[in-house]
Amino acid sequence: MAKAKTVYSCTECGGQTPKWQGQCPSCMAWNTLVESIVEPAGNQQNRYASLAQSAGLQKLADVEALEVARHPTGIQEFDRVLGGGLVPGGVVLIGGDPGIGKSTLLLQTLCHVGHARKAIYVSGEESAQQIAMRAKRLGLDAGPVELLAEISLEKILATLQQHKPEVAVIDSIQTLYSESLQSAPGSVAQVRECSAQLTRYAKQFDVTIILVGHVTKEGALAGPRVLEHIVDTVLYFEGDQNSSFRLVRAFKNRFGAVNELGVFAMTEKGLREVSNPSALFLSHHAEQVSGSCITVTQEGTRPLLVEVQALVDEAHAPNPKRLCVGLEQNRLAMLLAVLHRHAGVACFDQDVFINAVGGVRISEPAVDLAVLLAIVSSLKNKPLDNKLIVFGEVGLAGEVRPVQRGQERLREAAKLGFKQAIVPKSNLPKQAIEGLTVQGVERLEQALTLLRNG
């Protein structure tokens, strides 16, 4: 009888090698190679043939496209980020720093959802008593929510199949382990296997599963990158430990728009929704100050008003400083070159500091014009009108380019009481907006002329 062919597989990365080694040649981990039997090619062909017969191959034109049903969570800001609510069979991954409020948000969500749908909270980090104490401290009606303190994947899946919940929270995926693998919980192989098994269960039984993920020192989700590819939605919970405000961003969403933003405030009674997030990012000065300009940035489908502050001061070192907080550093250097070349305003002997108020991060180029006007305001020590709104992308040739959703940005500014706006000429509204005077510019020089005349 022929000897069965064996191969050695790494329990950390899944790499294979024909001979045993102390160190995996793929991920360089030690003592992770485990012997396994390779199925003969003939058996594989027979197995593939039987699987192909049972596979449900069908034409795309014959598939009925149905609208995906959504179940509201009872928290509007969370629904906005999710794309309208929870989707049956959807898998959501939410990550964030320790203590940022992930478990609090999900416990509040389950207490709302549990009144209409069966919900289970699976905790691998806290005991049932700790979760009950948190719910009591937050004043939540947690009666309908069922708890399970367990880290064994097999026991969790058995419990889910027995009780058949519609929504399940797994806190956290890094604490689970599968008995089929010998590696420790939190390893690459365990996270990948547990997330794949839970995703398969969610798709098979139309159960919404929310996974909580840890983050690394760099702020990325811990574990294999495939974890973000397996799930349907990836959310990041952000916030400064010194601030009570929390931001939830969607970086991937198969059922909605990405880059959506939800804003919360951490209180003694848990996370509270912020109905007017623009107020967070605007300073309330008693009088007009130089170096401050209000702009409108777009976070998904939501326009947000943000104050951009600039400080230009004489440099006392051979190399002037260029520092950005909340904006891209390299783009500031480019904008300063455009300002010098096309507007004749030189800052080569000045330190330039840019700050986006409220800790918000701005990545879109629509704030270019506001940054430049704030720099000129600080350099000339001439305050801008505190009822002025500015947005527009500035090109290397000094032109002011239009931005997306310009009409929505203007309407949001008018709703908050702004009276004047300087925008790209292509973003001029076709119909007048009540209470808002809009001036369009095509070049940077025109915007600076409006400031001098104003």
Q: Tokens for 242?
A: 């010194």
- Cα 400 to Cα 335, 426, 427: the distances in Å are 12, 9, 11
Asked whether the beta carbons of 424 and 402 are under 8 A apart, the reply is yes
Residue 3's pLDDT is: 53
The stretches of 124-181 forming alpha helices (DSSP H) are 128-138, 153-163
CATH code given to domain 280-453? 3.30.230.10
Flag whether 303 is marked binding.
no
Residue owning tokens 């430990």: 241
**Does 97 carry a binding-site annotation?**
yes
Q: Distance (Å, rounded) from C-alpha 444 to C-alpha 371?
A: 12
Residue 210: predicted pLDDT: 96
Nearest-angstrom CA–CA distance, 316 and 351: 8
**Beta partners for 438?**
421
CATH superfamily of 76-275: P-loop containing nucleotide triphosphate hydrolases (3.40.50.300)
In the numeric block, the tokens 């990012």 are attached to: 281
Domains 76-275 and 280-453 share a fold: no
Computed over its alpha carbons, how large is the radius of gyration of the chain? 27
Per-residue pLDDT tens for 68-97?
Answer: 788 999 899 999 899 889 999 999 999 988
pTM: 0.73
Residue-level pLDDT at 43: 57
**pLDDT for residue 61:** 85
Beta carbons within 8 Å of 401's beta carbon, 6+ residues apart: 392, 393, 394, 395, 424, 426
The domains of the chain are located at 1-41, 76-275, 280-453
209 is in an annotated binding site: no
CA–CA–CA angle 305, 95, 362 (5° rounding) = 25
101 a known binding residue?
A: yes
- Pair of tokens at residue 200: 């398969």
Q: Is 417 annotated as a binding residue?
A: no
pLDDT beneath 70: ranges in the chain: 1-5, 37-55, 240-242, 279-281, 283-286, 454
75 known member of a binding site: no
* Residue-level pLDDT at 424: 95
Return the closest-CA partner of residue 105 out of 262, 218, 232, 227.
262
Q: The tokens of 442 are what?
A: 């095509």
Q: Is 99 annotated as a binding residue?
A: yes
pLDDT in tens, 266-283: 888 889 988 777 766 676
Q: Which helix (H) or strand (E) holds 105?
A: helix 102-113
